[in-house]
Amino acid sequence: MREALDSSVLNFDQDSLLFLNISLAIIMFGVALDLKISDFTAIGKEPKSFIAGILSQFLILPFLTWVFILLVKPPPSVALGMFLVAACPGGNVSNFISHLAHGNAALSVSLTAFSTLFSIFLTPFNFTLWAGLYEPSAMIMREISLEYFDIFQTVALILGIPLILGILINNRFPSWSQKATKILKPVSIFIFAGFVGIAFLGNYLLFIRFIGLIFLWVLGHNFMALFSGFSLAKLFRLNLPDTKTLTIETGIQNSGLGLVLIFTYFDGLGGMAIIAAWWGIWHIISGMSIAFLWKKTT
């Protein structure tokens, strides 16, 4: 069954891929309409927490993912999916979950803004670096001749441009941005959720066949991400609200971006796609569970 994952492919046509790209860009634009220039300058007040957050997101998580893969030895396509998820920036729901957990909302917004901006360069870099250090996944990378600049272009188009446009519009037309984001964010997330649901139904038998294995891999990987954020926060001796935020920001990944890259460059490779799709469902469940547990902890 493990070998069958590497040869399986999710059904996904070009129109669906275009729809996924547009919906993800709209989600990012809606998130950016909530951001202000001050969100980037606010890190001066909490430099230690911010540095810990960036290290956790872009250094510790990819490294621990590599260690996790060496220990578990999943099929190459699954390993690629894990490397890609770990290389993606924080998910767009992390701010809401951090707020629900009574974390540091300002820190969460700053980390989301910076991690999204940095991801234009660091997502392609981390993915190609760590996937290249694990020989089974490196073989797939060589077979498709994937280059750093290819991923850079896609990430910049889907995340970078909507992010910059949203911030500029919010600072120029704040009242309009407040009205627009109330409509854009729920609508775009609903569209994306509907898209994932349709993709699931279209590949129902494939999901059912492999969900037992995928569930355990994602469960372990996500727990490791949450624990690494929590541990680094303790190492930096952060206060409880910052610890909550750092844990959540590290455990909530933008798996939607991962799916776009998988269907664009890997033709919906089964192990990769199912890992990213299930991560997109599971990280909300785990994040919300932690938020409710932490909500009354002060």
Yes or no: say if 231 and 38 are a contact pair by the CB < 8 Å rule: no
Can you list the alpha helix ranges (DSSP code H) found in the chain?
2-7, 14-32, 37-41, 47-55, 61-72, 76-87, 94-100, 105-132, 135-144, 148-155, 161-172, 174-202, 204-235, 240-251, 255-265, 270-294
pLDDT band per the 50, 70, 90 thresholds, residue 42: low
| Pairwise CA distance, residues 154 & 163, whole Å | 14
Q: Which of residues 224 and 271 earns the better pLDDT score?
A: 224
Structure tokens at 295: 């909500």
Amino acid at 278: W
Check whether 275 has a pLDDT greater than 60.
yes
β-pair partners for 90: 253
Check whether 133 has a pLDDT greater than 80.
yes
Task: Report residue 252: phi and psi, to 5°.
Answer: -110, 110
pLDDT (0 to 100) of residue 67: 95
pLDDT band per the 50, 70, 90 thresholds, residue 199: low
Q: Which of residues 298 and 225 earns the better pLDDT score?
A: 225
Q: What is the mean pLDDT of residues 156-172?
A: 84
pLDDT band per the 50, 70, 90 thresholds, residue 168: confident
Taking only the tens place, the pLDDT of each residue in 84-112 is 999 998 877 787 888 888 888 778 878 88
| Pairwise CA distance, residues 247 & 188, whole Å | 26
Closest CA to 159 of 111, 126, 117, 195: 117
Taking only the tens place, the pLDDT of each residue in 14-26 is 666 677 777 778 7
| Pairwise CA distance, residues 233 & 243, whole Å | 5
pLDDT band per the 50, 70, 90 thresholds, residue 5: low
pTM summary value: 0.86
pLDDT band per the 50, 70, 90 thresholds, residue 222: very high
pLDDT (0 to 100) of residue 61: 95
Check whether 247 has a pLDDT greater than 80.
yes
Structure tokens at 222: 């996500």
Domains located in the chain, CATH noted: 2-294 (1.20.1530.20)
Check whether 69 has a pLDDT greater than 60.
yes
